[in-house]
Chains A and B, each alone.
Chain A
């Protein structure tokens, strides 16, 4: 069997029935198509998925339910819904429907092949880069996106990273993983301003602090730490001065693109994401955010469970990035990172779960649900684990009005699976972004097809 080019309309078949047929025939958990990255057209007719167990996340699962979406938005979810005339009804009995998963801390889009410098676009020169915008460097034709969405991760928050000496990395952008251009892919930009908190004891698990080797806090490091903190404070002071200047009509300052980019964050229109792992850094960041009067999200947060009460009191959310990691310290329990989310949950802290957010994980965003599963294996209730990669991520990224749960009025961005998406053995069988049926083939399925053919040929020889 060679690759299949398939036009559902031309065949007069229901797109999805055909798709399921193919799944059954080939054993591949995706539509098999030669062209991996043809973005889907705008939804032009209402679609109803029926017969599945729907996991709306916002409320408990509904068995044998239907979901109707049109014009890219969810119109209704429930056991009985009014069927529009021209609706395409797809029977997905025995399946489950979930909101599209959201990876809240990722380099996907800014790197293609980690070791190849030419494909790295995530760290700008210098330490103060608030004006760097992730979305503008996202390559929509990255082979990483089809691979990622094929496992239900339909959105990634693409985050620029600070270099070894960097402080302010730039602004992140929430991208849906389908579109002809980066502009079409943008769900929201900027999502937040990303700051790498200076570390005294270097090391850790996030993209920002992974680079340096563990080392004791020497006097030099202490100096560097203080210098970095001063620089950070200075940047915010400068940006505020600039804002004052801009708002004061009589003496407008000449444009400074750095401080200009920081205005939305100074005005608390969007949060500042501070990447910090250790308790000391987290506390310092919370204190700093209060002083600066900015909205704070902690990213990384390996020690966040140690500061549960503080984070709840100050209303600081956390993106745990990642769960599957080695403990920060030799003496800590082996499951310290695994049980971090469960403890945050007990403390009442709002949190989401992410992969490592480093260049190695850019290509592995598809494994996001297993980060959440590990948290569930170590004490986090399963429904909370699901929230951590759907509605909680949406809340923290500021898109909960559009994404993260299956509710009328929200974007029709969802997945159909044959089981719990947090289980590896589960397959994602369909995906919709804004109601558009997404091609689940990828470089991986293509190569799989190609070489299956090799062995078929060998056997028939």
Chain B
């Protein structure tokens, strides 16, 4: 899921100020905390109030989309309203905002949120945590399942650095655990310090460079062709 944070109402208002009629689109996808129809309505009310305070009238409608990052779902849900509204405010993560802008080329979609990170839900500790940074070259087999790219503040491949104190990280005031000490302790538990001692050479950051692309159909077709050639 994607962890998001609602922008300040003033910032959202500044974006939609030039428009008198807006569509507010919630997202029922993986965005956390949830930003669905109710949140869209509340945002509409707040923006209306804000407009009134500035001597303007704002007409708005709130809807929600099953998943804004899917072009088919987002397209079918939003299309019926698109001619009537001058702008869209999206309550999805950046993926949803971008998708709506791409599908509806003649309407601007504005973000109501800042997208923070892709997270796993840790019910035990009541936390959302970033366990993976989608770096394109999985190291978890060497690090006892704890990712240093995502969980080390410096993304070190051969940590820890000198900034850890008693297993806590210098970034954030020694509040968060040092990923490399966690890796060390877990590898030690399994008698696998051979993996800790291993030198990991410089990473190939081409694998992590944005924008990311995966052409599904192409790959699928190539795979079939290769198989047929083998035959």
A and B from one complex: no
Chain A interface (Cβ < 8 Å from any Cβ of B)? none
Chain B residues within 8 Å of A, Cβ to Cβ: none
